[in-house]
Structure 1
Amino acid sequence: MLLNLHVKNLALIEEVDVDFEKGLIVLTGETGAGKSLILGSVNIALGNKASKDMIRKGTDYSLVELTFSVSETCAKQLKKYDIYMEEDNIITVTRKISEGRSISKINGETVNIKTLKNVMSLLIDIHGQHDHQSLLYTKNHLDILDKFAKDSILELKEKIKEEYSKYTKLIKKLEEFNIDEGQKAREIEFAEYEVNEIESANLKPEEDVQVEEEFKKLSNSKEIVSALSEIYNALSYETAGGLGDIINKAVMDINSIKGMDEKISQFQTELYDIDNLCRELTSQIYDYNSGMDFNPEYVREVEERLDVINHLKLKYGNSIEEILRYKEEKEEYLEKLNNMTDEMESVKNQISELEGTLNNLCTKLSEQRKKAAKELEVLVKQALVDLNFIAVEFEIQITRKESIGENGFDNVEFMISTNPGESVKPLVKVASGGELSRIMLAIKSILATEDDIDTLIFDEIDTGISGQTAMKVAEKMAKISRNHQVICISHLSQIAAMADSHYLIKKTADENSTTTSIKKLTRQQSIEELVRINGGSGITEAGLIHATEMKDMADRTKSNLF
């Protein structure tokens, strides 16, 4: 049950904080006073899209906060979304809208929009001004019937959905086999060519890197040999004036004076190290150059190998690993093509088996729907009579579609006759706007007894009705409110008179701003609001007498109803 609505900085609303109680709650007000804003604020809390234009001028955010008291059953359902109750099973839902972003919280914990919508679907059900028009689409008739059938078909629907998912995957797989023999032969020939081309290359892991390094070395071998020869000559011990020759002489000179001073021994040791380093370096350079025997044939072989590898890279991947992986994939594809006939037969058999399973499941589902439809027909007809349909017939026609879907194979359509002697016809062809509104109310009143949602909101469901019919609608709303909290935005005095709690939505303006407010009315204030709704130009004694009689009659009606 909705305990409190707190709205701040939303369009014309500066700040509204209102407490709600059980029973039938009616909100009334002048046209344009902001009744739709109240419903809009609840829709924002439900997770619906909120425009930044709704932020009140002069502020940088809008805030909507709803506080609910929930049943133990609902509390258990909320746990699957990791929502746990505060003390006394209280849950607070907050949504803050600012420039370019929105933040949703439940009991102070931030949640995403999907979780917000899932949670709110368990707490509140809103019927907007034009929702009755959904009855014009027959696909919605199936949803309504299934909501009524609920637990009796839930397991079947889940099983059908699961099996249908398998079925569609197999159908898609079968379509992949849909190639003629000529195309299949071409596919095999091309795949074999690609596999053989890669196999014949006899590639080794990381070979491309090694070959590229070898080719780079060989391509520059002349320049390398020439440069290293110059370095070798510069370091040589055999060439007069070479660094080695100079170091050798220095060693001989240091040896001739080594005993003359202890410090010279240190110089001798360091000079020996330099001599050894120079001899080792010249030896390594000599060995490297000796091994650089330039062989044009070997260079050509390395170049050709590199060309093969690069050619395969262009066709099959950027590395040896990718090329080999491509080869594996092609080999698997070849195996699939070669075994296609057998595999296709296997898939066909699986499809046939699933079709049989689905057909059996859908038949059972259809039987359950037909059983539920008979019950729903009786209840809807009675509810329509309660809503002042004098001579009404209502039937639910269930026919079989040509194909099976995830919801089975049933096509459901509501049929109605509102005039004596006329046969039932599709609801979409015969019902007027006002009749659609009452039919939807009848359906809502029935579904309300089948679910655990405590709070129902109706936005001007009384559109297009008046007089005795309006009184019947008011009675129906009162009946629903015995087991559910019903919040109704209305412009009819018959419904307002039936309210257990009556709130006035009012718009005030000054030079600087316009503000919408909401106020709970006392019994006397409610009677005065009834006078206004009835079209009085002012509060007159006659108007007050009539409004008081309406209120008293509504109280008696509610007393008799229960």
Structure 2
Amino acid sequence: MLYTLHVKNLALIKEQEIEFGKGLNILTGETGAGKSVVIGSVNLALGGKADGSLIRTGEEYALVELTFGIESDAQRKLLEEMDIPIEEDGSLTIQRKLMGSRSVSKVGGETVTARQLKEISNILINIHGQNDHQELLHKKKHMEILDDYCMDRLKDLFEELSTEYKKMKDISDKLSETEIDEASRIREQELLEFEVQEISDAAVVIGEDEKLENAYHKMVNSRKISEAAYAASSMTGSGESEESASDIIGRAVRELSSVASYDQELQGLLDQLSDVENLLSDFNRSLSGYIKDLEFDDEEFKVTEDRLNIINHLKDKYGGSLEAVLKALDEKQERLDTLSDLDQYRNRLTREYEASKQTVLKLCADISAIRNEGARVLEEKLKDALIDLNFLDVRFNIEVRSNPDNATSRGYDDVEFMISTNPGEALRPLEKIASGGELSRIMLALKTVVADKDDISTLIFDEIDAGISGKTAWKVSRKLGELARDHQIICITHLPQIAAMADTHFMIEKGLDEGRTVTGIFALDEEASTGELARLLGGEKLTEATLQNAREMRKEAREAKA
């Protein structure tokens, strides 16, 4: 459940902290007092669209912090699978800081991405906004609702169907590629034969291009290399110049050798100089061998140059590397083999496609059967819930229409909610018949039924009472109270019938603080809650009659909950 909401510098809220309770939490207040800002702040913390204009004027940042208590083993398991840290006391804190054009979200003190935040929020809370019930007018939503209700049986089938459907589509794409006329086939085949022959004749070897580049670069610069090598040899070698390093060091060795026996320290210096002489001799031998290897004829240079030109041409034409060239050879050979016996290839693909299609249709049929079974159960539960919400003569049907010619990765069904709210009237699509108030109640009925199947402990309703009043409002109030027995409900309302059912009642109102407008949120005790009910019931001035009416309403709500 949601323990606390802490908001700072957001819109008209300077700084507020709300401690929500179990059961039904009701938020009331005058129109424009900022009730929707409270729900909006929860949405913001859970990854909703951030806007720098939400930051309170004159402040550098806005902050929203939610603290949840993880009471469900299923929730804990899902969060642990995501490596989300939960405190020892079972709490989890989600924080979002809004700073101009950017924001930072943290869960358990660790920064998370928007995608991770959405996944976490789907585990912890379900928010029903003011216009969410309008989604019921779209058939796509009907399918989502039914599938969510049956997901425990559908999940594995959906995964299997997705894989098989992709396989079927891939085969279909390959079949489409074979639909070419004879002249086009011959032209493509001749081009492929030329390209395969071109690459095969070259007989390229991985790494060959680097060796050729090095050899060619060395040959092109051989004159400069030779001149430098001969000069180095002359300066360091022995016998070619009396001033060579080898001769000078040799004389130095002989000089020190003649006196080294007189001083032990001098012998150590002689050893070092002897090492230098040996190193220089090794260098000169290596340099001499290198100079001999520099010798090559024009024919060798031309062979290297021609081979390098062939390699670079193939790389430019077939992908930029020898690995790409060899991969292109395999692909073109495979395509050439296909074109050489196109009829046989097409027949094989056709057989594979039909086999895959039958598997797809079988999975679609299995999914459709589960949907139909689930639809019968769900429509009965929804009908009962709707009757509780003052749909006295309601008929509700979930139509699952199958079309094997329209298979997708989600099956081949079309789902639509059908309803009749008046005796003698035929069932008609929901979008054709339901008013705004009816849609709100249908959505509440859905939330009530589905809530029994998921592990989400907190549900938020932003004005679920839109378009209803009187007896219907009492029915909605009782349904919210019923739902609050096993869930934490946070509900914004304008109706006293719903507010009377509150386990915890909050008042939201505007005020002045140092000459500036601020929104304040206050928990109400029993007396204050009764006064707020009286305000919702009556006019501008509270009378003893409206207060008494409010007390009776609270009493009736307590009896209903009992």
Q: Give the TM-score of the pair, scaled to structure 2.
A: 0.81
Deviation by residue 1:391-438 (Cα, 9 ceiling, x = unmatched) = 222111111133112222111111111222111111111111111111
Cα drift, residue 18 of structure 1:
1.8
Q: What is the aligned partner in structure 1 of residue 374 from structure 2?
A: 372
Q: Is 1:179 the equivalent of 2:180? A: yes
Q: Is 1:428 the equivalent of 2:431? A: yes
Matched pairs, number:
532
Q: What is the aligned partner in structure 1 of residue 394 from structure 2?
A: 392
Tell me which structure has the larger Cα radius of gyration: 1
Code of the aligned partner of 2:400: I
Q: What is the aligned partner in structure 2 of residue 497 from structure 1?
A: 500
Q: What are the residue-to-residue correspondences of 1:261-410 with 2, within 5 Å?
A: 307-316=309-318, 318=320, 323-338=325-340, 340-401=342-403, 402-410=405-413
Q: What are the residue-to-residue correspondences of 1:29-108 with 2, within 5 Å?
A: 29-57=29-57, 58-83=59-84, 85-88=86-89, 90-99=90-99, 100-106=102-108, 108=109
1:124 and 1:316 mapped to 2: Cα distance?
A: 54
Give the match's secondary structure for 2:424.
coil
8 Å CA contact 2:457–2:488 kept in 1: the answer is: yes
Q: What is the aligned partner in structure 1 of residue 161 from structure 2?
A: 160
- The change in CA–CA distance for 1:177 and 1:487 in structure 2 (over 3 A counts) is same
2:152 and 2:225 mapped to 1: Cα distance?
A: 86
Deviation by residue 1:188-226 (Cα, 9 ceiling, x = unmatched) = 211221222233345566666666677778778999999
Cα drift, residue 380 of structure 1:
1.7
Cα drift, residue 115 of structure 1:
2.8
1:322 and 1:457 mapped to 2: Cα distance?
A: 56
2:70 and 2:532 mapped to 1: Cα distance?
A: 30
Q: What is the aligned partner in structure 2 of residue 531 from structure 1?
A: 534
8 Å CA contact 2:24–2:490 kept in 1: the answer is: yes
2:36 and 2:158 mapped to 1: Cα distance?
A: 37
1:222 and 1:6 mapped to 2: Cα distance?
A: 79
Q: What is the aligned partner in structure 1 of residue 119 from structure 2?
A: 118
Deviates more, 1:482-491 or 1:169-178: 169-178
Q: CA RMSD in A?
A: 4.1
Deviation by residue 1:50-95 (Cα, 9 ceiling, x = unmatched) = 223223231324132222241233323333223454345x222322
Deviates more, 1:515-524 or 1:383-392: 383-392
- The change in CA–CA distance for 1:199 and 1:45 in structure 2 (over 3 A counts) is same
1:455 and 1:230 mapped to 2: Cα distance?
A: 86
Give the match's secondary structure for 2:5.
strand
Code of the aligned partner of 1:549: E
5+ residue gaps, structure 1, are: 234-241, 264-269
- The change in CA–CA distance for 1:199 and 1:37 in structure 2 (over 3 A counts) is same
Q: Is 1:508 the equivalent of 2:522? A: no
5+ residue gaps, structure 2, are: 235-239, 260-272
1:414 and 1:15 mapped to 2: Cα distance?
A: 44
1:220 and 1:120 mapped to 2: Cα distance?
A: 67
Cα drift, residue 454 of structure 1:
1.4
Give the match's secondary structure for 1:464.
coil
Code of the aligned partner of 1:26: I
Cα drift, residue 299 of structure 1:
6.8
Deviates more, 1:472-481 or 1:11-20: 11-20
Give the match's secondary structure for 2:171.
helix
Give the match's secondary structure for 1:408.
coil
8 Å CA contact 1:44–1:95 kept in 2: the answer is: no
8 Å CA contact 1:2–1:66 kept in 2: the answer is: yes
Q: What is the aligned partner in structure 2 of residue 267 from structure 1?
A: none
1:232 and 1:414 mapped to 2: Cα distance?
A: 95
1:556 and 1:62 mapped to 2: Cα distance?
A: 40
Give the match's secondary structure for 1:41.
helix
Give the match's secondary structure for 1:30.
coil
8 Å CA contact 1:10–1:54 kept in 2: the answer is: yes
Deviates more, 1:442-451 or 1:97-106: 97-106
Q: What is the aligned partner in structure 2 of residue 551 from structure 1?
A: 554
1:78 and 1:520 mapped to 2: Cα distance?
A: 31
Code of the aligned partner of 1:367: A
Give the match's secondary structure for 1:59.
coil
Deviation by residue 1:225-259 (Cα, 9 ceiling, x = unmatched) = 999999999xxxxxxxx979x99xx99xx9xxx9x
Cα drift, residue 468 of structure 1:
1.4
2:417 and 2:231 mapped to 1: Cα distance?
A: 101
Q: What are the residue-to-residue correspondences of 1:188-207 with 2, within 5 Å?
A: 188-201=189-202, 203=204
Give the match's secondary structure for 2:67.
strand
Code of the aligned partner of 2:407: I
1:195 and 1:442 mapped to 2: Cα distance?
A: 67
8 Å CA contact 2:385–2:445 kept in 1: the answer is: yes
- The change in CA–CA distance for 1:529 and 1:227 in structure 2 (over 3 A counts) is closer
- The change in CA–CA distance for 1:202 and 1:174 in structure 2 (over 3 A counts) is closer
2:366 and 2:227 mapped to 1: Cα distance?
A: 91
8 Å CA contact 2:26–2:493 kept in 1: the answer is: yes
Percent sequence identity over aligned pairs: 43
Give the match's secondary structure for 2:31.
coil
Cα drift, residue 131 of structure 1:
0.6
- The change in CA–CA distance for 1:445 and 1:301 in structure 2 (over 3 A counts) is closer
Deviation by residue 1:353-381 (Cα, 9 ceiling, x = unmatched) = 22222322322322222222222222222
Q: What is the aligned partner in structure 2 of residue 239 from structure 1?
A: none
Code of the aligned partner of 2:544: E
Code of the aligned partner of 1:486: I
